[in-house]
Each structure stands twice: as structure tokens, then as C-alpha cells.
Amino acid sequence: MARKLMKGNYAAVYGAVLAGCEAYYGYPITPASEIAEAAAELFPKLGRTFLQAECETASINMVYGAAGCGKRVMTASSGPGISLKQEGLSYCAGSALPCVVVDVMRGGPGLGNIGPEQADYNQVVKGGGHGNYRVIVLAPNSCQEMCDLTMLAFELADKYRNPAFVLTDGVIGQMMESVEIPEPVASLPDKSSWAVKGDADTKNLINSIYLAHDELEAWNNRLLEKYRAIERDEVRFEEYRMEDAEYAVIGYGCISRVLRTVVDDAREKGVKIGLFRPISLFPFPKSAIASLPSRGIRKVLTVELSTGQLVDDVNLALGGRLISDFYGRVGGNVPSASEILGRISQLYGVKI
């Protein structure tokens, strides 16, 4: 297995190429542009399609078309572009089309800035377009995971015929780490039962219209069943030093890296603290978080690069047994370990 030093954004494209992604349709935006640039470099070398679309609306619709033709396909963007993609994502979800979207989150609202934030959580994790739908959301916290989870996103997207997101941020996208490059997939799933191929055998239809109210309701219920199955089978999270912990910090993506250092530093001072890191944000690790109080956790602190989005889901999961405290920074600011340690000692009266 080869190891390479690469940027998170680049690693995502490696993951896509290894997963057999045949087409990339995108539009530049910092801090996600390197994904388009890496795809522009690598895809044509393998006869795969790279196209810079006229806008994000176009690119997600190109994704819709390629996905409808049964191809593994991806796009990537950041907040302002993800907002534009929501229409197409709703259509992808409504037509049960598998595709992968990488969101390298930046500061908002509006044009905001290009610093790292995690403020797209709600618009991505809750299915940000119109209608009742969800997308699978995976949140890498390293360049390795940018590669691995992008590959996994393709697999899950196909398994459930649903859009899948890799939700990351400017820090993970821009930084470089050593990445162990996995093997390329050897074969792709057969989608001829539903994909449009333009041949005599597969005159399929890709469509999200159900005129009859009962039919649309039935379709929504089928989607719901799918989401339930995803919630049952695809929850992913990581725990670090949680075994005997009395305090838990919760965070995903780049902030979970800082929280790991927080845990190590606080442990050195004798504080029994651990890190709970959701890797899948949809499905959300509800029951694992719900069980924290019964496992001896007395206090929970959710830390994120937003003014409070993940924390709502943490509190829903906790169901009132505990109320998570919250610490967030925005605008491109990433709190340092010592800043968070200060918050912990202030909140819980522990000496760190």
C-alpha cells in the first residue's frame, strides 16, 4: 500500500478515482477549488469526464443526469454553492439517484469568508432542499478519511440509491497529511434495472413526479423506510478515552482533532474526560449519545465551528437526561485546545 502526503481536498479526489467515479461536474469556490483542480488533472488521464459547469445549479443537475445514467459521479463546493445545489439534491433524492457531494464548509452567512466553519450542518444534515428527504452525511477529520470516506460515500450512495455527502471544512480540505492509498474498486454495481442507458433494453425512466396524493405519500414512506434502514445499519462514530470518562466532549471534523488534544491535555491533569466523535452525521449516532449518561458521563460539552447546530442533535439524542453545554467559534476562527480547556475548567470547575 502506497503512502502519500496530500491535501484533504486532493485525497477526496483520490478516493473518488479509486471508487470508480466516472465524472466530476463542479464550479470553483474557495476552499473547495482544489477538488475541482485535482479532478481536472486526474480524471481525463483515465478517460473520465471533468467539466467545469456554469454554476452550481448546473453542476448538480449534471450530476443528476450522470447518476440517472448509472454512473458514479461527484461534485464539490462550499456553503454558497451548496445552497444553490439544494434544488438538484432534492431531485436526486426524489428520484433515488446515488451521487456524492463534498462540502468544504466556509464562513457564512452570505458571502461570509473563506475561513473554516461548520455552519452548513443544518442545510446538509437535515436534507436542505424541498421535500422530505435525507442525504447520507459522512464527516472526515483527517486527510486519510477524506479519501476513505469519499470511497465509502460512493458505496453507501449506491447501496441505498441516495445522495451522500462528505461534509468537511476548510481546515481538513487545505491541510496535508500522510494518506495510505487504498486499492481501487475492482467492479461497479449493476444499475441496469433502473438507470437510463439509451439502449433498447433499458428504456428506464428517472423521475420524481407522483401526481396522485396517495402515490406520493407511498413514495415518501418508502424513502422513510430507507432512511430508517440507514439509521439502523450505517451509524459510525469514534470514541477516544471514553472508558472511564465522566466528561465528554463532542465534535466532528477538524474540531475533533483539537478535542483529541484537549482530552490528552486534560487527562494529564487528571480530568476523566473523553471524546465522542460522530463520523456519520446522518445517520446520527443517537443511541450512542443517548447512552452516555448511563455510562457515567456527568457533563457533555459540544464544540463546533457554528453558533449551535450539532448541539441541537446532541440534545435531542440526550433526550433531557443531560443537557449538553456548548462552545462554538465562527467567522473562520478555530478554537485552540487551551481555549477549550479554559472553557471546560470554567464550566465544570475542574482544574486544568
Contacts (CB under 8 A) with another protein, residues 217-246? none
| Residue 155 binds to another protein (criterion: CB under 8 A) | no
d(CA 47, CA 37): 16
Q: Which is nearer to another protein, 55 or 323 (CB)?
A: 55
| Residue 37 binds to another protein (criterion: CB under 8 A) | no
Q: Which of residues 274-333 bind another protein (CB under 8 A)?
A: 332
Q: What is the residue whose three cell numbers read 470554567?
A: 346
| Residue 268 binds to another protein (criterion: CB under 8 A) | no
Sole binder of another protein in the list 37, 80, 84, 181 (CB under 8 A)? 181
83 φ, ψ (degrees, to nearest 5):
-55, -45
How far is the CA of 343 from the CAs of 246, 263, 298, 336, 348, in angstroms?
16, 13, 16, 11, 8
Amino acid 206 reads: I
Q: Which is nearer to another protein, 56 or 313 (CB)?
A: 56
* DSSP code at position 237: E
Sole binder of another protein in the list 62, 146, 322, 352 (CB under 8 A)? 62
d(CA 29, CA 135): 22
Q: Which is nearer to another protein, 283 or 328 (CB)?
A: 328
| Residue 84 binds to another protein (criterion: CB under 8 A) | no
Sole binder of another protein in the list 111, 131, 209, 321 (CB under 8 A)? 209
d(CA 15, CA 265): 33
| Residue 193 binds to another protein (criterion: CB under 8 A) | no
Cis peptide before 335 (omega within 30 of 0): no
Q: Which is nearer to another protein, 143 or 271 (CB)?
A: 143
Q: Which is nearer to another protein, 318 or 352 (CB)?
A: 352
| Residue 146 binds to another protein (criterion: CB under 8 A) | no
| Residue 252 binds to another protein (criterion: CB under 8 A) | no
How far is the CA of 103 from the CAs of 80, 120, 173, 336, in angstroms?
10, 8, 10, 23
The nearest distance, CB 69 to another protein, in angstroms, is 4
The nearest distance, CB 263 to another protein, in angstroms, is 8
> For residue 258, what are the contacts with CB-CB under 8 A and spacing of at least 6?
251, 303, 334, 335, 336, 337, 340
| Residue 216 binds to another protein (criterion: CB under 8 A) | no
Q: Which of residues 100-139 bind another protein (CB under 8 A)?
A: 113-115
How far is the CA of 72 from the CAs of 17, 37, 61, 161, 213, in angstroms?
10, 19, 14, 11, 32
Q: Which is nearer to another protein, 181 or 290 (CB)?
A: 181
